Structure 1
């Protein structure tokens, strides 16, 4: 676990080193023509990564972050694996940044659409594989990155005996687990549609509601919003016999296209069915 923690720290240090150098390039080029760096940003980023790789992995068989923590790639690591490391780390990120331009280069719209779809699913696959690798790393403490696992790379300590860091086992385990959980939440939470999930759970455990679509809407002094149960503000309806505040019905419909009336279960087909209530004078 201790070695796994050092490997994880090395990955974090490498990211910070890249960000620092990237910010320095931004400061140097900020007085140039507007849009110069933005136009060639993928190429500049790839060149920076290649320079970092040249003076770290290719030369010392370890990233700068690993060297700061007195570790390096050991075992069967050689020049061929160093070149594959650069191809996967630098080439994959460059292709991702230029995926739109590569797809747009195809004159046939059908081909262009297929290329965009390939890049899209490749990106999703890599993210899922990286998440799975992180979960496996938390259990076995080996290969903190997906590239390390693909190439079978394992850093080894080169620190003199007695100079390693002494960190409590319980502290390391707790910190690794929390970091892994945070990574999982950051990846998974934005993918969940909580409003649609709430609707399905409610329909599953509540009694069957009667669909009251296309009934007449009656507005009285005692009418309340079907969602917030308060006096309707800017009263609207969506085709059933119940009244909503404009913000209540619009916000819920934007979050869940199949939003159902909480009182009768009626679901509007599209946003055009949401209309203001016309009050007769």
Structure 2
């Protein structure tokens, strides 16, 4: 046995041992869709300075030309789409009974373009071609027939996908009809799993779940008020002075002039809505200035000079 024959036998064995994974075939399809969207967005951005809607009338034809250009330099030249080339995959002619690699023939490539490019163009143009036509009812029947065929095609694609999930071959209906199969360009090496990365992901995932469980138990509003009381304490006031409320010209919670001023039994003043909402949301609410508990919510009346209001 020659060296070439040994290499051919090795490649055939590798093909049998390492079939193309289903996820790899699906990833290639998604990469192709992302590439088409990227090309169309880049092409559409070239006409941003023109009159709006200039490409709308000929959009299906322009897309068909772009996809045909893309097919010419991918499937027709290299027997693989862009997504397959990225994942080390290419199409194999599955009509041949031999296990050796057989590229797609010219007929399969042409039919591939008709099914993919022509099918997308017909799907986008079918409504315009058979709507509002002068001949009337006959074209309406034709459009209804096309819609029925499109529905049948969708059902066939669904059945093909279910069969693909079971067998792992022919990810699309076009591949099944043309008998082209995805194979690896080169034999795949054994994939080594990095347990260090997995351990790090598990650790961070557990830490995130712990934070999700812990954060709702922390009264962040009370903690913020406590920090605020440390940063801005009121000095020079005595707790037992009944006239101290007159000297407090701002709410201890919002920092604004107190609206409907109330006290909770200490020498500090609060807006009614501020103290009421906080005391209702937190049964253990304390004053952010002196840490006094809410003994009783009482309105406060005091006179303020107009000159004092303007100086605030």
- Normalising to structure 1: TM-score of the pair? 0.56
Q: 1:67 pairs with 63, 71, 85, which one?
A: 85
Unaligned runs of at least 5 residues, structure 1: 168-281
Give the Cα–Cα distance (whole angstroms) in 2 for the partners of residues 130 and 57 of structure 1.
21
Count of aligned pairs between the two proteins: 167
Following TM superposition, by how much is the alpha carbon of 1:51 offset from its aligned partner in structure 2, in angstroms?
A: 1.0
2:145 to 113, 118, 127: 118
Displacement of 1:158 in angstroms is 0.9
Preserved contact between residue 96 and residue 119 of structure 1 (Cα < 8 Å): no
Q: 1:129 aligns with which of 156, 161, 166?
A: 156
Contact 1:103–1:115 (CA under 8 A) maintained in structure 2: yes
Q: Please say which structure displays the higher CA radius of gyration.
A: 2
The question of whether the paired residues in 1 share the 8 Å contact of 2:64 and 2:121 is answered with: yes
**3-state SS of paired residue (1:143):** coil
Q: Deviations over 1:151-205 (max 9, x none)?
A: 111011013552x7568xxxxxxxxxxxxxxxxxxxxxxxxxxxxxxxxxxxxxx
Asked if residue 151 in structure 1 is aligned to residue 169 in structure 2, the reply is: no
SS in 2 for 1:104: coil
143-152 vs 97-106, greater mean Cα deviation? 97-106
Aligned to 1:217: none
1:107 shift after superposition:
2.1
CA contact 2:20–2:183 (8 Å) conserved in 1: no
Does the residue aligned with 1:37 lie in a helix, a strand or coil? coil
Please list, as runs of the form range in 1=range in 2, the aligned pairs for 1:193-272 lying within 5 A after superposition: none
Q: Deviations over 1:76-101 (max 9, x none)?
A: 51111000000000111111111122
- Corresponding residue number in structure 2 for 1:10: 28
Deviations 1:197-238 (A, max 9, x none): xxxxxxxxxxxxxxxxxxxxxxxxxxxxxxxxxxxxxxxxxx
Runs of 4+ displaced beyond 4 Å? 164-167
Q: Is the 8 A contact 2:31 2:83 kept in 1?
A: yes
Cα distance in 1 for partners of 2:140, 2:192 equals 53
Q: Structure 1 66/112 Cα, relative in aligned 2: closer, same or farther at 3 Å?
A: same
- Report the Cα distance in structure 2 between the residues aligned to 1:78 and 1:98, rounded to whole angstroms: 29
Corresponding residue for 1:35? 53
Structure 1: distance between partners of 2:34 and 2:91: 20
Shift of 1:59: 0.5
In 1, Cα distance between the equivalents of 2:157 and 2:113?
18
Q: For 2:25 and 2:176, how far apart are their aligned partners in 1? A: 13
Q: CA deviation at 1:42?
A: 0.3
Q: Residues 166 and 115 from structure 1, CA distance in 2 versus in 1: closer, same or farther, beyond 3 angstroms?
A: farther
Once the 2 structures are TM-superposed, how far is the Cα of residue 11 of structure 1 from its aligned partner? 0.7
**Pairwise CA RMSD of aligned residues?**
2.0
Match of 1:55 among 73, 76, 79: 73
**Selected match of 1:140 from 167, 180, 196:** 167
- Please, which runs of 5 or more residues in structure 2 have no aligned partner? 1-18, 94-101, 194-312
Tell me the equivalent position of 1:185.
none
